[in-house]
Structure formats: structure tokens, C-alpha cells
Amino acid sequence: MSELDVRHGEALAVNFPLQLHHTPDESVDENNPRDGLLRMVKSLSPKVTTLVEQESNTDTTPFFNRFVEALEYYLAMFESMDVTLSRNNKEKINVEQHCLARDMVNVIACEGKERVEPHELFGKWKSRLTMAGFQQYPLSSYVNSVIRSLLRCYLEHYTLVERDVA
């Protein structure tokens, strides 16, 4: 771990923003690099680790259910972009065409190793993190209030839901 330059006594924070689902799991590779990565991170003894991932089951569910999950998830993505960016915004169009469209096709049409966008539900992530030795802690009421006030700046359809200390 010397290449990470982790120093003894120094506080370490690890953030996985919408990336961990790209690491293959047991359904793709029998060595399960995803769980191996989580165990390796835990061995670094971070003070805090955050996981930000889509909560939808597009990994192991049958095609029709995967299609519906993808439709609901990407509809929310497009709606949130519509609220913050104009319809003619070049960056928005670029994200829609080159990121979201590619991801949608991958989630719906690809199987096995070809699917590089396998999303999982909270319970599965929680289980993976627990098996790797992580403990879950709730957000403070202050952080929750900040999140709620930020959400009010957008559509009233977006809410903060606390479930199972998450």
C-alpha cells in the first residue's frame, strides 16, 4: 500500500462515488474483485468510507424487471437534469448522449461480462460492506437537514429517505 502514501496516525477517508459497481463481482469473476477491493480498503483502517451508488436491481433481475428499474432510474436522472439545465445546454446534451444513453443500453441489453453497469440494491451493498468488516453509522440530523434544504431547491418529488441507518 506504499503507492497510496497512507501514513500511520493519519486519518484516511475513502469515497466510492458511482464507481464501485464497475468492479466485477462474483457473477462475473469467481475471484470477486469487488469484495476483494472492499476488504483491501478495510485493511487500511479508514476513519470513514462512503458509498454512493444507484439503488436499483439491474444486476441479477430478469430482463423485464431490469427494463422497468432502468426506466425509473434514468427517468429521474433526466428529470433532475431538466430542472437544473436548459434543454439546449450543450453539456447536458453531451451527458445525455454520451453517458446516460450508453449506460442505459448497457444496463438493458448486455449480459454477463458485457454488462459494465450492474446496479445493486442497498441491502446487497450493505451485506458486502458488512462482510468486509465495515460498520454503518447514521448521518447526523444537521447533515440530513442540509440535504433536505438542498432538495427543496429542486422538484418537490425528490426526498431524503432514511432506512436501516442509511
**118 neighbors 54 (Cβ within 8 angstroms):** no
> What contacts 120, CB < 8 A, 6 or more positions away?
21, 53, 55, 57, 59
Distance CA 86, CA 90 (A): 9
**For 9-45, what is each residue's pLDDT tens digit?**
889 999 998 888 888 888 778 888 999 999 999 999 9
**For 155-166, what is each residue's pLDDT tens digit?**
666 778 888 777
Q: Where are the domains of the chain?
A: 1-53+120-135, 61-117, 138-166
